[in-house]
Amino acid sequence: MSVDEQGDSERLLARQRARESSARSYARHLPVVPVRAEGMTVYGADGRTYLDCLCGAGTLALGHSHPVAIKAIRRVLDQGAPLHVLDLATPIKDEFTETLLGLLPAGLAADARIHFCGPSGADAVEAAIKLARTATGRSGLVAFTGAYHGMTAAALAATGNVAVRTPALVPDAGVTRLPFPQDYRCPFGVGGAAGERIAAEHARRLFDDPGSGMTPPAAVIVEPVQGEGGVIPAPDGWLRALRELATAHRMPLIADEVQTGLGRTGELWGVDHAGVVPDMMVLSKAIGGGLPLAVIVYRSEYDVWAEGAHTGTFRGHQLAMAAGTATMRFVAENSLAERARKLGDRLRTDFAEAMAELPAIGEVRGRGLMIGIELVDPEAAADALGARPAAPDLARRVRTEALERGLIVELGGRHGAVLRLLPPLTMTELEAEQVRDVLLASIAAASA
């Protein structure tokens, strides 16, 4: 890189530190100043290139500046179509709605209503919870440990991360938080199929026990794969048990597919792995084709809102709808969900095989191209299930090492010790090999 390029990058980073709020997050740990991006490659103001395994936290399903999204955006601009329409009907919106409904689980799409929310996933979560409460006349909510649903009031109350919820002083007294089953750090200390069965039975007994202290809730909200929580897939049998429980107690099952939606997990929707059809789906990120867009889709029986019950100025984002339509069609027509499944399986296998040489890797997990690598202290004693203590300091060093080698990754999980990979579904096999090699080299270097 030239001195001018390096200087310009450092100047912009310094100005950001001086003027932006202390709440900035990614910018603190990823000191990259993107000036151009294409596919999986980001070109920085420092003259360096990076492979992006963050991709807008999973927003960029097709990667940066994909031609089909750019073409759709340009078409809207060239047509002189209005960019801001509130919730008025437009041909662009109708095309988006038709495309989305055509890809949703048939059991939901056949009798669905769609509501366009504010442009963030958090607002769509708020809308789903509000609608469930309006429809059922109840106020409670069932959520899960490790969950992340957003940073606004109801979404934050449903979120399991105490560190982000407590400072906001958001009351969560109406939230019943149940254990989210997983193998490596099973909340019941047994793991595997036994842990899954206990989790399902625990939930059933809680609902059936008149002395449990839980009043009938308005809804149960769940992520098919917990993302921020550490890339933990919901076991299929457990998710089906939740579906049965929600039906038995006449409460909607809300699937938060903000991050798992549109092929990310190796199926079009995260719930498809279990064959579960939710009553409400919360969608954002990838469905906007890289631009802000969020919707909820729900069974018509819940469409009880009064006019204006949930509004938002920017729910008519025409450019996002056009880019989203093009993106959804491209994903479906090119079988990118299947591609994500195959490429993700291969990467997880490679990472798992490296555990013998890199004992700091505690577990490799995920679905499709939603991959998590939990880093642990290999010198510490393991628990009864063989899990060692999380190693957040090591994870931070790995993130830094990876960035030095030209790879952008971010952390997640309860202790910030999980390397999270959210590459575009268009990632090539060569790029996948580069990601694997750089990440394994970074773990080795940081562990030395």
Distance from C-alpha of 362 to C-alpha of 378, rounded to nearest angstrom = 8
Per the document, the length of the chain is 448
Strand ranges in 30-111 using DSSP code E only, listed in sequence order: 34-38, 41-44, 49-52
Q: What confidence tens digit (pLDDT) does each residue in 5-33 have?
A: 567 889 999 999 999 999 999 999 999 99
Predicted pLDDT of residue 6:
60
As a whole number of angstroms, the distance between CA 310 and CA 282 comes to 15
Amino acid letter for position 369: L
- Distance between CA atoms of residues 146 and 165, nearest Å: 12
Q: State the helix-helix crossing angle for 429-447 and 336-353, rounded to 10 degrees.
A: 30
Give the pLDDT confidence score for residue 361 in this predicted structure.
98
Instruction: Give bridge partners of residue 42 from the DSSP assignment.
Output: 37, 50
DSSP 331-364: HHHTTHHHHHHHHHHHHHHHHHHGGGT-TTEEEE
| Sequence spans of domains, the chain | 1-30, 83-333
Q: Which two structure tokens, joined as six digits, stand for 22?
A: 């202390």
Q: What is the distance between the alpha carbons of residues 2 and 5, in angstroms, rounded to a whole number? A: 5
Which residues touch 175 (CB under 8 Å, ≥6 apart)? 140, 141, 142, 143, 157, 158
Residues (pLDDT < 70) of the chain are 1-6
- Whole-number pLDDT of residue 5: 55
Domain 83-333 class? alpha beta
pLDDT of the residue at 235: 97
Instruction: Reduce the DSSP state of residue 422 to 3 states and report it.
Output: coil
pLDDT of residue 214: 87
What is the structure's pLDDT at 4? Answer: 56
pTM of the shown model: 0.96
DSSP labels, 358-416: -TTEEEEEEETTEEEEEEB-TTSPP-TTSPPPB-HHHHHHHHHHHHHTTEE-EEESTTS
Cβ pair 287, 60 in contact under 8 A = no
What lies within 8 Å, CB to CB, of 196 at 6+ separation is 181, 235, 237, 238
CA distance 114 to 100: 10
Q: CA-to-CA distance for 199 and 201, rounded, in angstroms?
A: 6
Q: Would you state the pLDDT for residue 267?
A: 98
Residue pair 259/233 in contact by the 8 Å Cβ criterion? no
C-beta of residue 235 within 8 angstroms of C-beta of residue 270:
no
pLDDT at 164: 83
pLDDT of amino acid 3? 42
Asked whether 344 and 173 are in contact (CB, 8 A), the reply is no
Backbone angles phi, psi at 144, to 5 degrees: -135, 155
Q: Angle at the Cα of 230 (from 160 to 335), degrees rounded to 5?
A: 120
Q: Cα–Cα distance between 362 and 369 in angstroms, integer?
A: 19
Q: Is the distance from CB of 62 to CB of 424 less than 8 angstroms? A: yes
Nearest of 59, 56, 73, 95 to residue 283 by alpha carbon: 59
CA 403 from centroid of its chain's CA atoms:
22
* Amino acid at residue number 232: I
Structure tokens at 52: 């992006």
Q: What is the pLDDT of residues 166-183, one digit of tens each?
A: 888 787 878 999 999 999
The pLDDT score that the predictor gives to residue 8 is 85
**Cα(220)–Cα(239) distance, integer angstroms:** 11
DSSP 104-150: S-HHHHTTEEEEE--SSHHHHHHHHHHHHHHHHS---EEEETT----
